[in-house]
Amino acid sequence: MKLHNKILLGLVLGAGAGIVSKLVFGEAPELLWIVENVATPVGQVFLRMLFMIVVPLIFGSVTLGVASLGDLTRIGRIGGKAMGFFFLTTAFAAAIGLTLVNVIGPGRQLAPEVRTQLLEEYSGEATARVGGGAVFGVETFVNIVPRNPVDSAARGDMLGLIFFSLTFGIALTQLSKERAQPIMAVLEGLVDVVTRIIGYAMKIAPYGVAGLIFGVTVRFGAEVLQSLALYVITVMLGLAIQLFGVTGMIARFFVGIPYGRFFGKCRSLMVTAFSTSSSNASLPENIRTAEEQFAVPREIASFVLPLGATMNMNGTALFEGMTVLFLAQVFGVELSLTSQVIVIVMSVITAVGAAGVPGGSIPLLVLILETVGVPGEGIALILGVDRILDMSRTVPNVMGDQLTALVVARSEGAALRLDD
């Protein structure tokens, strides 16, 4: 059985076992013990192995990718294409989300007593998730330049690490070939070693995925899902339109990849993204898919995909825009067309600043809510279903990165593998 089929089987078996266990045993202590001491640890080992290699992978691949491009003009051209495509597709996603919420109006269907119950139940978690509040402004862009790249790597500040890696790679292009070659050889060895570790992690992926989804389905309260069913369905519909409509059609008509083949080659990537809820954790599989399935040149994949894992968040922008308008409807706040345009712009900008980890968009979502006059504590209403939505929105996030690498490679004249 191929690896992606094993992972998919683990996902299905884990979800099925979790749903059945929840229905049969409810909140039984024994079931919760299994979740906490068996399923979750197995899933966490898988996740930690992926997160373990993110820092060396980003540093090695981005630096090597930039240095391999060689010409600063080419670096700027490829970077400009990638960034422009990131913002274009992210803005489109946010607009899709707002359009759907305006048409369906899920917030107007939530009963006041359910709203009160959810606020009481999840207000504590909302405070913990948001922390001291979100800050986004000029300082955010200043902080992209790290004081200490090692500290940035340790804190998971991927933008700071990417900036350092880009600068390091550009500096390498300015050295003579004789001086740069030893460093390039070390970087190539580093990427090769990390790739081997990725192989180890993917061997336990089916078991890790099964454990993660089992824990989610056992803990996921059906009553919360029922209360927010229309909201969840609306978000899922928006994500599906972005993934299978926008991303799939661009791949078909602008890159030339047959629709079914594009998603078929990305099956393992999509399952990994869904199960980990993290663009960063999915990055190794994303790079592997681009290089092995589509023959994207290593220097382009290594440059574009780490940028995308941090800055290209199609699904997150769509989710943020939909959630802001949903909560505005719940609290009876009428948002004008101008306010909704502001929501789109802020969803695009803050999606760039969202951490590529599970739940990374929640703090910045509060900022958008308060900007347009919606109570920030309203975020508590959606926390009960955020985990399943987080898993779902990560898929269009990483597929948007993959699409960008393909579009950029195609525009640079690369001979992609599209048909086999």
CATH number for the domain that contains residue 14 = 1.10.3860.10
pLDDT at 90 > cutoff 90:
no
Q: What is the pLDDT of residue 358?
A: 54
Q: Which residue has the higher pLDDT, 7 or 208?
A: 208
Q: Which of 93-102, 121-130, 189-198, 398-407 has the highest mean pLDDT?
A: 398-407
The pLDDT, as a whole number, for residue 353 is: 53
Cα torsion angle, 270, 272, 274, 277, sign: negative
Contact 256, 409 (CB under 8 A): no
Bigger pLDDT: 212 vs 285: 285
**Residue 319 CA: distances (Å) to CA of 29, 109, 231, 314, 315:** 34, 19, 11, 9, 6
pLDDT at position 250 over 90: yes
pLDDT band at 278; cut points 50, 70, 90: confident
**Region of poorest pLDDT, from 20-34, 204-218, 242-256, 343-357:** 343-357
Residue 386's domain comprises 3-411
Asked whether residue 172 carries a pLDDT value surpassing 60, the answer given is: yes
Residue 222 confidence (pLDDT): 54
Instruction: Please report which confidence band the pLDDT of residue 138 belongs to, taking 50, 70 and 90 as the band edges.
Output: low
Let me know if residue 416 belongs to a domain: no
What is this structure's pTM? 0.73
Q: How confident is the model at residue 239 (pLDDT cuts 50, 70, 90)?
A: very high
Of 280, 361, 282, residue with least CA distance to 315: 361
What was the pLDDT predicted at 129? Answer: 47
22-26, 59-63, 122-126, 405-409: lowest mean pLDDT where? Answer: 122-126
Please give the C-alpha separations between residue 224 and each of 110, 220, 328, 375, in angstroms, as whole numbers: 12, 8, 19, 20
Give the per-residue pLDDT at 139. Answer: 67
What does the pLDDT average to over 274-288? 85
Q: What is the distance between the alpha carbons of residues 238 and 233, in angstroms, rounded to a whole number? A: 9
HSE-up of residue 218 (Cα within 13 Å, Cβ side) = 26
Residue 418 lies in a domain: no
Give a yes or no: residue 420 inside a domain. no
Judged against a pLDDT cut of 70, whether residue 359 lies above it is answered with no
Domain-embedded: residue 417: no
Q: State the total domains in the chain.
A: 1
Q: Are 68 and 183 in contact (CB under 8 A)?
A: no
**Distance in angstroms (rounded) separating the CA atoms of residues 162 and 303:** 10
Q: Is the pLDDT of residue 226 over 80?
A: no
Percentage of the chain surpassing pLDDT 70? 83
Which residue, among 319, 419, 404, has the nearest Cα to 360 in the 3D structure? 319
Q: Three-class SS of residue 334? A: coil
The predicted pLDDT at position 75 comes to 77
Domain annotation covers residue 115: yes
Please give the Cα distance from 292 to 302 (Å, whole number). 13
In a domain, residue 189? The reply is yes
Quote the pLDDT of residue 135. Answer: 47
**316-342 pLDDT per residue, tens:** 889 888 888 888 888 777 888 888 888
DSSP H helices, 204-336, are 205-219, 222-227, 229-240, 248-250, 259-265, 267-276, 279-288, 298-311, 314-330
pLDDT tens for 114-123 read 667 666 655 5
Cβ of 230: how many Cβ atoms within 10 Å? 16
Would you state the pLDDT for residue 270? Answer: 92
Burial class (CB in 10 A: 0-12, 13-18, 19+), 113: exposed
Burial of 66 (0-12, 13-18, 19+ CB in 10 A): buried
The C-alpha atoms of residue 74 and residue 59 are separated, in whole angstroms, by 20
In a domain, 148, yes or no: yes
- Please check the confidence at residue 127 and state whether its pLDDT lies above 60: no
Place of tokens 């269907």: 109
Taking the C-alpha atoms of residue 248 and residue 67, their distance in angstroms, rounded to an integer, is 31
**Cα–Cα nearest to 260, from 141, 152, 419:** 419
Band (368; pLDDT cuts 50, 70, 90): confident
Q: With bands split at pLDDT 50, 70 and 90, how would you rate the model's confidence at 132?
A: very low
The answer to whether 343 and 190 are in contact (CB under 8 A) is no
pLDDT at 126: 47
Give one DSSP letter per residue of 140-209, joined into a string: HHHTTS-S-HHHHHHHT-HHHHHHHHHHHHHHHHTS-HHHHHHHHHHHHHHHHHHHHHHHHHHHSHHHHH
Confirm whether 407 is domain-assigned: yes
- The rounded distance, in Å, linking the Cα atoms of 65 and 13 is 39
Average pLDDT score over the chain: 80
pLDDT at 361: 62
